[in-house]
Amino acid sequence: MIRHLHALVPHPRLTLRLGALTAVQAILQGLLLGTLAPILTALMRPEPDFDSALPWLLAAGLGTVAYGVLTVIATPIGFTAASEVAGQLRNRVMQHAIALPSGWFTPENKARLARTLTADAGNIGQLAVSTGGPALTAVLTPATIVLVTATVDWRVALLLAATMPVAFLALRRAGRVSSDVERELENAAMHIAGRAIEVGQAQPVLRAAGLGRSGTPSLRAALAGHRDVYERGLRRAMVPDLTYTAVVLAGFVATVVLCVWLFVTGRVGAPETIALLILTVRFLEPLSSLIELIGALHAMDNAVTRVQEILSAKPLPSPAHPVGDHTADDVTFTGVSFAYPGSRSRAITEASFSCPAGSTTALIGPSGSGKTTVTRLLARFFDVDEGSITIGGVDVREFDPGCLRERIALVFQDVYLFDDTIEANLRLARPDATARELADAAAAARLDEVIERLPAGWHTRVGEGGSKLSGGERQRVSIARAFLKGSPIVVIDEAASALDPENERAVGDAIRRIAEDPARTVIVIAHRPATLESADQVIALDQGRVVEDDSPERLRDTGGLYSRLHDQYTAASSWRIAGAGRR
């Protein structure tokens, strides 16, 4: 456990110092108790021998002062060490997460990452200090007392020494059960957290259905499941915990009986017997506390395991000689095949097509045909299983990751904005942009119209996830980012879907402005006739395969997928809502 923790923490200087101080304090406790026998022997004579007791009294006094000084030194180090461990773990996890492929960030993995950063890292730091120190004391102090007891009576020391391995065997079994129970409870708690977030996000739907107070059936089931896991865990832990307590208690009773027998038979005197009984109590007291600490220790170990699981996730391979500056911006897919991790079926199969530099390519196809996967592979969210994707003839796997990110601007289907101002959200694309550049990007995306309507203008906070803006307004912010970033390749994933007419026109105008820029290569997932007709070429996908690849004019009369979709969109655009008396 300690080895695993130190493997995670790059610089465990304070934790090692705290561990050393705790070890010295634990040993010092045992040594201080060792002064009891000579002190009692000297003072309990018919005529007390103060001269003989004085050196031991002085040693005990100095030891007590030293123990107090060590406590004063160790306490602030403990607080700092807990903070240091948590900080180093968070930094290491974040640095590793930044290097992971974007495809790793599934909803489940994002929840694990958030849990690790907010809870596990802090708990590990706190438990390493608040539990690790007492656990070390609970082992070293009894071991020291055994050695001290041997100077008084070897038979009692031998019995105490025999109690320790039996107790540790029982504790090991109790620890395994405690670890299993803690993992089950953690999984159940994470399930509750997921369902609770779901209830919070779906409040409008739940209230409309009259479930605003009772919540969803899945949340109630998760709460019931957590209660069942807790009760089952208590039952499982009862026998191992009681077994350990029985072993410690049996050791205590056996030692007391031995001490009384030694006194009654005259083998030891009254002072030695009193000292032995005190040593026995102080030997078993820290041992008995281990059963209370073992659950927290295994909780820390499980938290360490969860951190290690994230750190074991492999980042995308880095090229030996990464390509930096590159001027050509044509995009080519050659025989690309790809299946998502854990999936048995391919999302893309032997896809080949080219997007000339400065052109606009529209991707079309039914849901699940692989359109979004194409854009993710281009941005290297994942690496292809077969084939290659090149930009200007260079495989995307050979680019420096930072350079590749700079060359591609992404406008996602689901726009996420940070809980900050509009200006701050735009500056994510270029933190050093001037006010003029911000204004130009906003005008190009028709975001300036939104900003003018807002009382605080550029300084308007958008809320968590951009909740204070409409879907179309969030799309405009995303497109403005693409303009501001100035990347030569722009990938737009269904940017104009599910918008009101005003925002649809604004977003459509912004996309056309991007596409009209001869310095940009644009790939857009689109379904609207106006966007499709303005494209230089259309790539039609079906079940992960490229089934059509030509200009919109040529594909319109082929009777293929594009032709059918075009006819459907044209017919839908003429639909009108009629009154009840009209047919």
Question: What's the CA gap between 138 and 286, in Å, rounded?
Answer: 5
Question: What's the CA gap between 30 and 11, in Å, rounded?
Answer: 31
Quote the pTM value.
Answer: 0.67
Co-location of 305 and 441 in the same domain: no
Q: Is residue 324 part of a domain?
A: no
Q: Is residue 444 part of a domain?
A: yes
Neighbour tally for 478: CB within 10 Å: 29
Q: Is residue 426 part of a domain?
A: yes
What pLDDT shows up at residue 415?
A: 83
Q: What are φ and ψ of residue 63, in 5° steps?
A: -65, -40
Residues near 104 by Cβ (< 8 Å), separated by ≥ 6?
A: 313
The 10s digit of each residue's pLDDT in 197-244 is: 677 766 767 676 666 566 677 778 888 888 888 888 888 888 888 898
Q: Is residue 316 part of a domain?
A: no
Co-location of 274 and 339 in the same domain: no
Co-location of 520 and 464 in the same domain: yes
Co-location of 214 and 137 in the same domain: yes
Co-location of 82 and 210 in the same domain: yes
Question: What's the CA gap between 371 and 309, in Å, rounded?
Answer: 31
**At 35, which CATH number?**
1.20.1560.10
**Eight-class DSSP state of 189:** H
The β-bridge partners of 523 are 361, 491
Co-location of 295 and 347 in the same domain: no
Question: What's the CA gap between 152 and 36, in Å, rounded?
Answer: 10
Q: Is residue 322 part of a domain?
A: no
Co-location of 111 and 7 in the same domain: yes
What pLDDT shows up at residue 496?
A: 46
Q: Is residue 374 part of a domain?
A: yes
Count of domains observed in the chain? 2
The 10s digit of each residue's pLDDT in 162-175 is: 999 999 898 888 88
- Count of residues for the chain? 583
**Eight-class DSSP state of 461:** B
Residue range of the domain that includes 359? 331-573
Question: What's the CA gap between 561 and 564, in Å, rounded?
Answer: 5
The answer to whether the CB of 63 falls within 8 A of the CB of 31 is: yes
The tokens of 522 are what? 């644009």
Q: Is residue 545 part of a domain?
A: yes
Co-location of 279 and 358 in the same domain: no
Question: What's the CA gap between 552 and 532, in Å, rounded?
Answer: 7
Pick out the chain residues at pLDDT < 50. 496, 581-583
Co-location of 265 and 368 in the same domain: no
Co-location of 349 and 302 in the same domain: no
Neighbour tally for 540: CB within 10 Å: 24
Question: What's the CA gap between 196 and 116, in Å, rounded?
Answer: 18
Q: Phi-psi category of 34—alpha, beta or left, where left has phi over 0 and alpha has psi -120 to 50?
A: alpha
Q: What angle do CA 427, 91, 424 make, to 5 degrees?
A: 10
Q: Is residue 307 part of a domain?
A: yes
**At 399, which CATH number?**
3.40.50.300
Co-location of 296 and 338 in the same domain: no
Co-location of 307 and 338 in the same domain: no
Q: How far is CA 194 from CA 189, 197, 451, in A?
A: 9, 5, 35
Question: What's the CA gap between 289 and 508, in Å, rounded?
Answer: 69
